[in-house]
């Protein structure tokens, strides 16, 4: 295996990436949330390659990444809510689900049989430059094997997908760290299907209407495709809301751990190096979100009995962090 598919995201490599995408191949691109595995959203064969590379069930739809509102409006019917949200939050970590536009050219496979595609304009210069260079929307799920933690670094993309991806545009660690907020605007009510950095309160402020949040971990009604209870899983089980550390456990900390006990070492602060990672020493939720997936991956490699995770406040982007942690901790469904 070579590392030759991992390249710096400079102008030359963006050009090469666009050529590959036009040929129906796959390129991992940075976005502000996580790295995405991008393909031409109009090309069924390219989209099929995404499902194969990720080992993802093909009933799970893909988000189309656009360079702005104009491109989005070729794919979906904008309503008043959509205009407001796009004007306020695009480019940015917000995905909108809307009714399909007339003559929508999206790959049927990417839609997974739905009449309501999802669109998002990412806030990252490389992603935007790549979409512009391709001249078509790019479908891009997170660039990892299905059911594993989303990649926030180029190295994590390479570890998960290796040479199943034709080119990885490398541009350091992503800023936000959790995937985009997904909001369904296709029905009578506004509903958040996946929480992210754009919170329910932020959406309500702009829309001046009630925004519902459907939490798949606690809601037993039929779930949208992909909103599975167990997702983002590590190999090592997670123990959430931990107030101490049991024997054989690693620790994913949040805030100060001065007074936290460890069964084996007395105090958590005396645990061996590498078995404790702190999402944010100062208790900053945005910093914690940006570190979440890379720290989960790093602690997974320790091969501990389980990972104790300290409580995370359920406000702001903390709602998204808790959503990902809850689903990573959910028992395997057979």
Q: Using CB under 5 A as the criterion, which residues of the chain lie in contact with Mg ion when the complex forms?
A: 142
Chosen residue from 36, 154, 216, 318 binding ligand TXA by CB under 6 A: 36
Chosen residue from 14, 25, 39, 63 binding ligand TXA by CB under 6 A: 63
Q: Which does 318 bind (CB under 5 to 8 A by kind): ligand TXA, Mg ion, none?
A: none
Segment 77 to 116, residues that bind ligand TXA, using CB under 6 A: 93, 95, 97, 114, 116
Segment 167 to 186, residues that bind ligand TXA, using CB under 6 A: 179-180, 182
Contact call for residue 118 and ligand TXA (CB under 6 A):
yes
Q: How far is the CB of 150 from ligand TXA (least distance, A)?
A: 6
* 183 in Cβ contact with 190 (< 8 Å): yes
Q: Which strands sit side by side in the sheet containing 238-239, from one edge to the other?
A: 238-239, 306-309, 249-253, 276-278
Spatial separation of the C-alpha atoms in residues 92 and 124, rounded to whole Å:
8
**How many chain residues bind ligand TXA (CB under 6 A)?**
26
Scanning 29-37, 79-87, 263-271, 294-302 for contacts with ligand TXA by CB under 6 A, the matching segment is: 29-37
Q: Which does 117 bind (CB under 5 to 8 A by kind): Mg ion, ligand TXA, none?
A: ligand TXA
Q: Residue 13 or residue 325: which is nearer to Mg ion going by CB?
A: 325
Q: Which does 107 bind (CB under 5 to 8 A by kind): Mg ion, ligand TXA, none?
A: none
Q: How far is the CB of 114 from ligand TXA (least distance, A)?
A: 5
Contact call for residue 34 and ligand TXA (CB under 6 A):
yes
Site string for ligand TXA, 140-159 (x = CB under 6 A): xxx-----------------
Shortest-Cβ-distance residue relative to ligand TXA = 226
Chosen residue from 121, 224, 250, 288 binding ligand TXA by CB under 6 A: 224
The two tokens of residue 15 are 């050009």
Q: Which does 60 bind (CB under 5 to 8 A by kind): Mg ion, ligand TXA, none?
A: ligand TXA
Q: How far is the CB of 45 from Mg ion (least distance, A)?
A: 21
Length of the chain: 334
β-bridge partners, 142: 36
Chosen residue from 117, 154, 216, 318 binding ligand TXA by CB under 6 A: 117
Sites of contact with ligand TXA (CB under 6 A):
31, 33-34, 36, 60-63, 93, 95, 97, 114, 116-118, 122, 140-142, 179-180, 182, 224-227
């Amino acid at each position: 295996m070579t590392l030759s598919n991992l390249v710096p995201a400079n102008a030359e490599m963006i050009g090469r990436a666009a050529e590959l995408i036009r040929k129906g191949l796959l390129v991992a691109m940075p976005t502000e949330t996580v790295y995405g595995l991008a393909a031409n959203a109009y090309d069924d064969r390219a989209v099929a390659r995404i499902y194969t590379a990720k080992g993802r069930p093909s009933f799970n739809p893909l988000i189309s990444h656009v360079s702005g509102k104009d491109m989005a409006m070729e794919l979906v019917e904008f309503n008043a809510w959509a205009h407001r949200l796009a004007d306020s939050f695009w480019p940015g970590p917000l995905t909108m689900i809307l009714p399909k536009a007339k003559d929508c050219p999206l790959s049927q496979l990417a839609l997974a049989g739905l009449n309501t595609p999802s669109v998002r304009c990412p806030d990252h210069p490389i992603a935007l430059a790549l979409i512009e260079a391709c001249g078509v929307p790019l479908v891009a799920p997170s660039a990892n094997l299905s059911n594993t933690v989303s990649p926030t670094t180029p190295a994590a993309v390479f570890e998960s997908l290796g040479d199943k991806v034709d080119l990885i545009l490398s541009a350091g660690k992503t800023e936000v760290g959790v995937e985009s907020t997904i909001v369904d605007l296709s029905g009578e009510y506004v509903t958040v299907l996946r929480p992210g950095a754009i919170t329910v309160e932020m959406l309500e402020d702009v829309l001046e209407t009630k925004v519902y949040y459907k939490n798949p971990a606690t809601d037993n009604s039929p779930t949208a495709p992909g909103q599975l209870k167990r997702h983002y899983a590590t190999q090592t089980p997670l123990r959430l809301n931990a107030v101490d550390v049991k024997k054989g456990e690693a620790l994913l900390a949040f805030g100060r751990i001065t007074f936290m006990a460890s069964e084996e070492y007395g105090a958590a602060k005396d645990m061996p190096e590498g078995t404790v990672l702190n999402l944010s020493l100062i208790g900053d939720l945005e910093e914690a979100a940006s570190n979440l997936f890379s720290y989960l991956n790093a602690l997974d490699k320790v091969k501990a009995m389980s990972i104790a995770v300290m409580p995370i406040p359920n406000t702001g982007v903390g709602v998204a962090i808790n959503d990902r942690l809850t689903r990573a901790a959910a028992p395997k469904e057979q």
